[in-house]
Amino acid sequence: MDWQLLGLSFITVFLAEIGDKSQLAAIALGGSLKSPRAVFFGSVAALLLATLIGVLLGGGIAQLLPVRTLKAMAAIGFTLMALRLLWFSNYSESE
């Protein structure tokens, strides 16, 4: 097992999930229901399943397309998201 890759994946996902909507939903459910353990296990199972789907799809797509193409697609996707946030957000500086 590549321990460096494991650590990098853990840190990346952990930092990305802090303050996420799913974490806020888990906090709300855990505080309002009588079984926080069930909320914990449900949240963990959902995150594991979503991650598994992402890894399997990513691995499958990586078998079909060259790495350079995947990196270009990711760069274009993130650039489009950033441009959309900059130019098409509902936030107005005059408020």
**pTM greater than 0.85 (yes/no):** no
Query: Could you read off the pLDDT tens digit of each residue along the chain, which spans 95 residues?
Result: 889 999 998 888 888 877 778 888 888 888 888 888 999 899 889 989 998 998 999 889 989 999 899 899 999 999 999 999 888 776 655 55
SS3 content of the chain, % helix, strand, coil (to 5): 80, 0, 20
Instruction: Tell how far CA 22 is from the center of its chain.
Output: 10
Q: What is the pLDDT of residue 68?
A: 93
pLDDT digits (tens, 9 = 90+) for 3-23: 999 999 888 888 887 777 888
Both tokens assigned to 66: 């060259």
Measure the CA–CA gap between 50 and 47, rounded to whole angstroms. 5
What three-state secondary structure class fits 34? coil
CB distance 58 to 74 below 8 Å: no
